Amino acid sequence: MKNNWENILKQKDSYIWEIPKEFRPGMRVNGRIYASEKLMKHIIKDQAPEQVVNVAFLPGIVGYSWQCLDIHWGYGFSIGGVAATRFDDGVISPGGVGFDINCGVRLIRSNLKFQDIKDKMPEIIEDLYRKIPSGVGSEGIIKLNSQEIKKVLSEGAQWAVKKGYGEKEDIAYTEENGRMTQANPDIISNKAIQRGLSQLGTLGSGNHFLEVQVIDQIYQPEIARQMGLEEGMITLLIHTGSRGFGHQVCTDHLSVMQKAVQRYNISLPDKQLACAPVISPEGEKYYQAMCCAANFAWANRQCIMHWAREVFSKIFHISSERLGLKLVYDVAHNIAKIEVHHYNGKSVKLCVHRKGATRAFPPQHPELPLKYKEIGQPVLIPGDMGRFSFCSVGTNKAMDETFGSTCHGAGRVMSRGEARREVKNRDIVEELRVEGILIKARSRATLAEEISAAYKDVSEVVDVMDKSGISKKVARMRPLGVIKG
């Protein structure tokens, strides 16, 4: 039976809504959703608040079962969810990370302006499409053997740079320096290894993309200048993750976690929240395997960036260095991290699940590169293929309220099936071309599923996070050309 969420949710201020833990016996913390009144209507329709309630049952959870307004129904956790559990006596849940482990976004700046590329856009999009494999089951240029892939899983983006796929500077501007050191390739299943052997350097399908953009609005000039961003600049945005490898890692551990729930007498309202204590053989092995998938994803985006640089160098007959193709930052969206946070007046070691959520650390945080110490961590928030993307920065308020987390995108309002029915007999490529956006995709079905109407307006989502003080918007990017699977 569906709940009447309009009567259950308690509005705390303009953008915060809470579900009190008294709503359902077994909830350990309140649920909290950041949303405007307008966007809350979409959230209620999706029934995703039910998953906010379910997550509040996790042993060791602290603070809130937290959701951004890009929330929509997912496996176990809704997309857009954050849950922090105590390291000592809390749990880790694959449902709080998702199947596409370290699906994330990487932003690249350039010295190019719109007038430099407007006549070359058809060639740029065609060459990017040929150079970077995309689509379901796509295979990359790099062919790994079982020994070499273990190096990728251990070293992440650092492996790619060592092999010549990028520059040392890229590592400094990648979350975790592109490598989670707790990765243990020796526990990865042969099936996962086989799925990853040929997929390094590929976009995949669904909402993954490579986008050529132009910055059309700057909100905070001083912060933008520190990032090397300015109005009229051409940027590239890469959105993809760990492909079939990460999916298999998640699948492999879900059955293990189902048994662990019984072994440790954990009571949950939804079996998709299957979990194990962070400090347990099952929890530790999942975390080590998840780190492997995260490293694969960082290496994947690093290779794609390298080939995108090659395409631009070839077309403009200038080195990528002279073109100014520099990495601004790379952030993960689907990941769990062991972090120390200030909670209830003391420093506490936590396992922070971010599923469809972006880390948003504030100025002076020790994990930030020196360049961003004064301004905070860059936060990259992609839109859909027909609307804007944004670059924001993390804030101290995010650390206080959301364990240093913010939204990751717009969030769906239509299922993929609904979207396909919505665009039946429409020419999406032509519609986007009229809007000044060139697109190449492996599948017409993907284009149908990814129409703008299938998503909330990312501008509204980012505005809420900006006005709530969780992440402050810095720049807006308008799409010029998109590669999709």
Kindly give the pairing relationship between strand 438-441 and strand 471-484.
parallel
Contacting residues for 30 by C-beta, under 8 A, at least 6 apart: 18, 19, 20, 21, 56, 64, 65
Write out the two tokens for 386. 């027909």
Helix spans in 84-133 (H): 114-117, 121-131
Cα–Cα distance measured from residue 464 to residue 460, given in angstroms and rounded to the nearest whole number: 6
Closest C-alpha among 134, 130, 106 to residue 213: 106
- 15 phi, psi to nearest 5 deg: -130, 5
Instruction: Provide the greatest CA pair distance for the chain.
Output: 65
* Host H or E run for residue 246: helix 243-263
Catalytic: 408? yes
Cα–Cα distance measured from residue 112 to residue 234, given in angstroms and rounded to the nearest whole number: 5
Neighbours of 14 (CB within 10 A): 11
Contact 328, 105 (CB under 8 A): no
Which of 247, 253, 353, 408 is flagged as catalytic? 408
Closest C-alpha among 363, 303, 410 to residue 80: 410
Task: List active site positions.
Answer: 408
